[in-house]
A and B are shown apart, each in its own frame.
Chain A
Amino acid sequence: MRKFLAIVGREWRAYFFSPLAYVILAAFLLMNGMIFSAIVAFLNTPGAPKGQALPFLFTNTYFWIFNLFVVPIITMRLFAEERKSGTIETLLTSPISETTVVLGKFTGALLFFLTLWAPTIVYVLILRSQTPIDLGPVAAGYLAIALIGAYFLSIGTFASTLTKNQIVAAILAFAMLIPVFSAGLLESLSNDPGKRDTLGYLNLWDHMEEFSRGVVDTRRIVYYLSATAFFLFLTTVTLSAKKETP
């Protein structure tokens, strides 16, 4: 556990040693600031339905674009950087299991991802001081961000073990995230009820809307967690296999 925490701490801090973290953070705050001002403008319209604007924070198009681009950038360095520089050798010859290494790095990335979201809590507090807000859906929205974030980050972590080149790792992650994200969008294109159900199960956009309305469906949670576990398992397997070609 101490070793796990050592890795988590190093990974999380490593982000702030590169300018990338600040660029992402700034872009993210700019995007959310714009959305927030749109929400405020919406609420200022006479007759606007009170308490229903906040879900926009989670269900807008920017949210998805942001995740699809930023997650690969967060995860690209995790293993690719260590393999390129050679530090992977000392890391993997320390008395730590590969699973712990993978979980530690993944958790570090997830913490950084959540750090990006932390400032948005201020928006919620500002709105709350002005208009009644139901905190249930807000909590559900943040839960969904953490779960979908974990799912996407696990895919990115996996991609990072496939190459020594960080850019290639980012592109691979992006290429894997696109089908994961867009499979559900095919739901509306299908007439077959069986297919529609299956695709609906994968429709992240709809899931996010449900969550932000406060609907916490355990099937969704099971889907995200099992998919995350699956990709982290793949990461561990790849990491062991890649030792053959250091």
Chain B
Amino acid sequence: MPASARFSTGRMIEVENLTKRFPTQVAVSDVSFSVREGEIVGFLGPNGAGKTTAMRVITGFLPPTSGTVRVAGYDVMTRSEQARASLGYLPESAALYPEMRVREYLAYRARLEGVRGPDVARRVRDSIDSCLLEEVADRKVENLSKGFRQRTALAGALVHQPPVLILDEPTVGLDPTQIIKIRETIRLLGRERAVLLSTHILPEVDAVCDRVLIIDRGAIVAEGTAAELRSRLAGSPIVRASFAGQIAAREPLAGLPGVTAVSEASADGETRVRLECVTGADPREDVFRTAVARGWVLRELVLEAVSLEDVFVRLTRHEEIAPAAAVISHSAEAAAAEGASEEIPS
């Protein structure tokens, strides 16, 4: 990796206090993070969270409102061409020229990226191999399935073998077998490159990424490895309990020490409650004593393990999206604020 050798820090993407404001909204607000060589970082967030905007700024397509972005050590605004030469970008649209053949398109992309004449054919062959495009290499893009188009666009992003890859939803539109193969390709590429990929598919993060940035409403709300995020949120446990009959369990349980929020639902002659608790708390015994004291019949009492889905949902849920869960959502925001204050490097 010739470009990375110049930078002892190995930080191939550095984003500092990035803010991007559009006339009607703030798409990205004071975001800072970095991606090192040999690292695959997942950008995780609900639709409209600011992932695509952030990536467009990093690739130099959009200028930032404030803050700096460096790619391979080059500022994307002041040394834009060097920065752009160091990165490969797969945009969300994965747009291609429909009239071109796959091989022809890749050769065109290679030339635009500055690959020299004699190397073009070899680079095109390599990218066709790594994105499994052999069988369609001489077909026109307009006649390809969505999956092949997506892979052609991915091949276009890496045809010049850049040290930095920015992939906006690289596995969208692929069938499960293709997804597994493309993830393998990305993992392989990530060994010696810095890869930033966005996704809203949670298993993808577990399968591919070394580290996760959860972005919501333009801000990073949590950062860490998938395991770290899990254990940190597992530290603020959830207890589920169910009682026979229809009872008013919310009030008494919300008063228990360590419980931050309670939600309650009754169905089929059973009342189910879900308690969110402060880190380290285990109110199971208190729940049991409360039940005994009030004469409730306890059917089930479980301390839940937290999945990555839970982490994601808790960090990104808003009242306007889930009004029914209003009771829980204030604690989700508390968790979000907590995550933000802990994790965003200053």
Binds A, one of B30-38, B85-93, B208-216, B272-280: B85-93
Most interface-central of A2, A18, A86, A94 (chain B CB within 10 A): A94
Q: Please name all residues of chain A whose beta carbon is closer than 8 Å to the beta carbon of B134 when the two chains form the complex.
A: none
B262 CB, min distance to chain A CBs, angstroms: 45
Q: Please name all residues of chain B whose beta carbon is closer than 8 Å to the beta carbon of A3 when the two chains form the complex.
A: 111-112, 114
Chain A residues at the B interface, C-beta cutoff of 8 Å: 2-3, 6-7, 10, 14, 17-18, 85-87, 89-97, 243-244, 246
A86 & B112 in contact (Cβ 8 Å cutoff): no
- Other than the given A6-B112, A243-B63, A246-B56, 4 more pairs (CB < 8 A) read A18-B99, A85-B95, A89-B91, A92-B60
Is B138 among interface residues, defined by CB-CB distance under 8 A? no
Is B7 among interface residues, defined by CB-CB distance under 8 A? no
B81, B95, B98: which contacts A95 (Cβ < 8 A)?
B81
Q: Please name all residues of chain A whose beta carbon is closer than 8 Å to the beta carbon of B82 when the two chains form the complex.
A: 95
A-B residue pair count with CB separations less than 8 angstroms? 74
Q: Please name all residues of chain A whose beta carbon is closer than 8 Å to the beta carbon of B61 when the two chains form the complex.
A: 89, 92-93, 243, 246
B114 & A2 in contact (Cβ 8 Å cutoff): yes
B81 & A90 in contact (Cβ 8 Å cutoff): no
B167 CB, min distance to chain A CBs, angstroms: 12
Q: Please name all residues of chain B whose beta carbon is closer than 8 Å to the beta carbon of A85 when the two chains form the complex.
A: 93, 95, 97-98
Q: Can you spell out 30 A-B residue pairs with CB atoms less than 8 angstroms apart?
A: A6-B111, A6-B112, A7-B112, A10-B97, A10-B108, A85-B97, A85-B98, A87-B95, A87-B96, A89-B56, A89-B61, A89-B89, A89-B91, A89-B93, A89-B95, A90-B91, A90-B95, A90-B156, A90-B157, A92-B60, A93-B61, A93-B84, A93-B89, A94-B113, A95-B85, A96-B81, A243-B61, A243-B62, A244-B22, A246-B62
Is B295 among interface residues, defined by CB-CB distance under 8 A? no
Q: A14 with B93: in contact, given A89-B56, A90-B156, A95-B114 (CB under 8 Å)?
A: no
Residue on A with the closest CB to B168? A89
Q: Please name all residues of chain A whose beta carbon is closer than 8 Å to the beta carbon of B87 when the two chains form the complex.
A: 93
Q: A91 with B112: in contact, given A2-B117, A86-B93, A246-B61 (CB under 8 Å)?
A: yes
Most interface-central of A6, A85, A91, A97 (chain B CB within 10 A): A6
A85 to B156, CA, bound (A): 16
Residue on B with the closest CB to A3? B112
Is B59 among interface residues, defined by CB-CB distance under 8 A? yes
Residue on A with the closest CB to B105? A10
B292 CB, min distance to chain A CBs, angstroms: 62
A93 to B111, CA, bound (A): 13
Q: Please name all residues of chain A whose beta carbon is closer than 8 Å to the beta carbon of B95 when the two chains form the complex.
A: 85-87, 89-90
A95 & B89 in contact (Cβ 8 Å cutoff): no
A96 to B59, CA, bound (A): 13
Q: Please name all residues of chain B whose beta carbon is closer than 8 Å to the beta carbon of A7 when the two chains form the complex.
A: 112
A85 to B141, CA, bound (A): 13
Residue on A with the closest CB to B112? A94
A246 to B59, CA, bound (A): 14
A14, A97, A243: which contacts B97 (Cβ < 8 A)?
A14
A95 to B96, CA, bound (A): 18
B139 CB, min distance to chain A CBs, angstroms: 14
Is B187 among interface residues, defined by CB-CB distance under 8 A? no
